[in-house]
């Protein structure tokens, strides 16, 4: 019996020590691979691809994963790539995610790897640019895959690497499958199953967070996003005789102002913020003609289901009633987009110590909610997830360019922290959720003495 207990205790301790010993290996591996990760990132940056057109990017990713001995699935969610790395010991399944697509933005940053790619988007000629840092995400996760595959035999669990297309939306509507894109489609196609994922981690590089720092928030972290469309039908007339028609332009102006009262007067902003933005108005063709109709499009950001429902309701009421008061008709259409990016509080509490241990407690900061949106939220609807922000702003910079702009710039010195963080979260989660050793009951299996 004594020997059995010693054996069990030794086995239990060996798991804990084995996992702890992986941290120095991960740290050394991340430092050693830094130049390779930067090179990958610059290549992706110079050759950006829009949503569901990431053919070159996904091939590079798939080839790299195969070279590491990782099982690869391609064309998941149109152009997505999934790699499965089974550790040498039993344990839970952790998913790590990177998005791959660029944006229809013409780059102005003067770097040797500046994007010169051009395309046509919504009928307009434009450049294509990684203006949100997805090139960084792909390169970082490729680095994580290389490091974890090198210690495969010591991993007590399975890692699922998710390289996701179309986080920014689909370039061509004809590429949509089942009316879905990006993370939602990958989930529909079973990316969180076979093997079933237990937890998921992801990061987003930030041009407004200093390199070397990490930002996070428990609970609601990024907004739910919906698309707004309003069509106003009036009555066309000569611009010199407005009383003979019904002016949809004046009506639209009143609706825009009316929509602002939703946030200022209907939403309890002490609990959660909300945003209603009209981004474009299209109508009319000549200076002296009041048009028959026009269309408005915009975006809605909310942080709670009941708040989302309220905002949708008030948009419809304000637009239709103002139009009716002018003698016009307003048709409101709201397309539901990404849900709230929600960091599971229990998982966040358990894992934040990992990030603090890697980056230093003083460099891990609780941030305010972000009104941007992320389809990482679709993965978090299936399993507990933690999504955090990785600093990419050069130290000392005071006026960094925001995301989705031609001047967006990332300091690559923060990449190793991203690699260490994702890999560290993985092995620590494995350790925290390792299968428990069952202790044999005294006398069980022994012959009864006569």
Q: Give the residue numbers annotated as catalytic, written as ranges.
A: 338, 412
CA angle, corner 312, sides to 308 and 316, nearest 5? 170
- 226-248 burial, b at 16+ Cβ within 10 Å, e below that, comes to bebebbbebeebeeeeeeebbbb
Contacts of 366 (CB under 8 A, 6+ apart): 215, 216, 217, 218
Straight-line distance from the first to the last Cα atom of the chain, in angstroms, rounded to the nearest whole number: 20
φ and ψ at 360, to 5 degrees? 95, 130
Q: Write down how long the chain is.
A: 450
Q: Quote the CA–CA distance of 86 and 98 in Å, as a whole number.
A: 19
Q: Report the SS3 class of residue 235.
A: strand
Tokens of 25: 């290996």
211 contact partners, CB below 8 Å, separation of at least 6: 391, 392, 393, 394, 395, 411, 413, 414, 417
Q: What are phi and psi of 443, to 5 degrees?
A: 85, -10
> Phi/psi zone of residue 292: left (φ > 0), alpha (ψ -120 to 50 degrees), beta?
alpha
DSSP state of 103: B
């Amino acid at each position: 019996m004594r020997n059995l207990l010693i054996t069990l205790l030794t086995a239990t301790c060996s798991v804990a020590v084995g996992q702890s010993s992986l941290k120095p290996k991960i740290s050394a591996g991340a430092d050693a691979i830094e130049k390779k990760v930067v090179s990958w990132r610059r290549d992706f940056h110079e050759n950006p691809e829009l949503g569901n057109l990431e053919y070159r990017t996904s091939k590079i990713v798939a080839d790299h994963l195969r070279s590491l001995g990782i099982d690869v699935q391609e064309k998941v969610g149109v152009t997505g790539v999934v790699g499965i790395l089974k550790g040498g010991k039993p344990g839970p399944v952790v998913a790590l995610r990177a998005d791959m697509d660029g944006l229809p933005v013409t780059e102005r940053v003067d770097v040797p790897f500046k994007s010169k790619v051009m395309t046509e988007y919504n009928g307009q000629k434009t450049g294509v640019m990684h203006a949100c840092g997805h090139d960084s995400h792909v390169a970082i996760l490729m680095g994580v895959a290389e490091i974890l595959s090198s210690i495969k035999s010591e991993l007590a669990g399975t890692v699922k690497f998710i390289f996701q297309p179309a986080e920014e939306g689909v370039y061509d509507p004809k590429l949509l499958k089942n009316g879905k894109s990006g993370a939602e489609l990958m989930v529909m196609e079973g990316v969180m199953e076979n093997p079933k994922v237990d937890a998921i981690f992801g990061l987003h590089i930030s041009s407004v967070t200093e390199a070397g720092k990490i930002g996070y928030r428990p609970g609601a972290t990024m907004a739910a996003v919906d698309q707004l469309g309003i069509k106003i039908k009036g009555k066309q007339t000569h611009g010199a005789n407005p009383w003979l028609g019904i002016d949809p332009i004046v009506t639209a102006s009143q609706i825009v102002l009316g929509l602002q009262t939703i946030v200022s007067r209907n939403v309890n902003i002490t609990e959660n913020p909300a945003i209603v933005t009209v981004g474009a108005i299209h109508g009319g063709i000549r200076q002296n003609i009041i048009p028959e109709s026009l269309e408005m499009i915009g975006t809605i950001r909310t942080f709670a289901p009941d708040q989302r429902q309220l905002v949708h309701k008030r948009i419809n009421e304000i637009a239709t009633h103002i139009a009716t008061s002018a003698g016009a008709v307003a048709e409101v259409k709201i397309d539901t987009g990404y849900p709230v990016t929600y960091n599971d509080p229990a998982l966040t509490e358990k894992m934040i110590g990992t990030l603090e241990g890697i980056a230093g407690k003083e460099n891990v900061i609780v941030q305010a909610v972000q009104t941007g949106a992320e389809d990482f939220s679709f993965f978090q609807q299936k399993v507990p997830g933690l999504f955090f922000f990785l600093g990419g702003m050069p130290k000392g910079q005071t006026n960094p360019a925001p995301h989705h702009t031609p001047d967006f710039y990332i300091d690559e010195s923060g990449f190793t922290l991203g690699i260490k963080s994702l890999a560290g979260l993985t092995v620590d989660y494995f350790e925290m959720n390792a299968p428990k050793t069952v202790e044999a009951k005294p006398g069980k299996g022994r012959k009864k003495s006569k």
